[in-house]
Chains A and B, each alone.
Chain A
Amino acid sequence: GAGVSQTPSNKVTEKGKYVELRCDPISGHTALYWYRQSLGQGPEFLIYFQGTGAADDSGLPNDRFFAVRPEGSVSTLKIQRTERGDSAVYLCASDFVGDIQYFGAGTRLSVL
């Protein structure tokens, strides 16, 4: 596609539920990143994929968070047993490693 696409744009869920957030990167980009942005803050790194493998998942806050990229293109960020503190905008970016990262518009997650 022309840009990084993220779905859904908004997700409202209840505490304790499971959610999946999807990212479709720019075609051909080998690297994919997930960031989380809280109100009034800059994006914070969560996880980085090179191809199908998670090369760095050091930013995932705990084991309720997991992400996959099974075919080296689309990625899904999965959050189990959501908590109110998980509410934020989840941003996805892609690039050729070492190049400029291009961001999607994000998924705004609200946990009630």
Chain B
Amino acid sequence: GQNIDQPTEMTATEGAIVQINCTYQTSGFNGLFWYQQHAGEAPTFLSYNVLDGLEEKGRFSSFLSRSKGYSYLLLKELQMKDSASYLCAVRAGDYKLSFGAGTTVTVRA
């Protein structure tokens, strides 16, 4: 099975930067995904890393180190609408995603 850990909660100020860490233990690693989930809504895809390094998409960036079993999601220029749960998920093999419990980010004015 997979063991995926991420912080439960984080709070930050509008306009600031927040980094959400995710550590994992898995066999057959085939990609790490970050999803955003607002309360009562579908998880929405944010980013995907399969090779080591940084992937940047606008205000969101994600980093992966396979040797360390570590990823982070960086949210820049925080906006109130970024208040949500952020889910780290690992794919082992071709298809199955295993999720962490999610990190609830609260953005304050």
Q: Which residues of A contact B (CB under 8 A)?
A: 3-4, 31, 33, 35, 40-45, 48, 55-56, 91, 97-98, 100-106
With a cutoff of 8 Å between Cβ atoms, the chain B residues found around residue A101 in the complex are 33, 45, 97
Number of interface residues of B (CB under 8 A): 22
Residue in B30, B87, B96, B102 whose CB lies within 8 Å of A48: B96
Q: Kindly report which residue of chain B lies nearest to residue A58, judged by CB atoms.
A: B96
What is the bound-complex CA distance between A104 and B45, given in angstroms? 12
With a cutoff of 8 Å between Cβ atoms, the chain B residues found around residue A35 in the complex are 97
Q: Which residues of B contact A (CB under 8 A)?
A: 4, 30, 33, 35, 40-45, 48, 87, 89, 94-102
Task: Decide yes or no: A48 and B48 within 8 Å by CB, A40-B101, A100-B33 being known contacts.
Answer: no
- Report the minimum CB–CB distance from B4 to chain A (whole Å): 8
B97 touches A45 (CB 8 A): yes
B89 touches A42 (CB 8 A): yes
Question: Can you list 22 A-B pairs, Cβ within 8 angstroms, ordered by A?
Answer: A4-B42, A31-B95, A33-B96, A33-B97, A35-B97, A40-B102, A41-B101, A41-B102, A42-B99, A42-B102, A43-B43, A43-B99, A45-B96, A56-B96, A91-B43, A97-B95, A100-B33, A101-B45, A101-B97, A103-B44, A105-B40, A105-B42
With a cutoff of 8 Å between Cβ atoms, the chain B residues found around residue A105 in the complex are 40-42
Q: Would you call the interface of chain B mostly helix, strand, loop, or mixed?
A: strand
Residue in B4, B30, B42, B98 whose CB lies within 8 Å of A103: B42
Task: Decide yes or no: A45 and B98 within 8 Å by CB, A100-B33, A100-B48 being known contacts.
Answer: yes
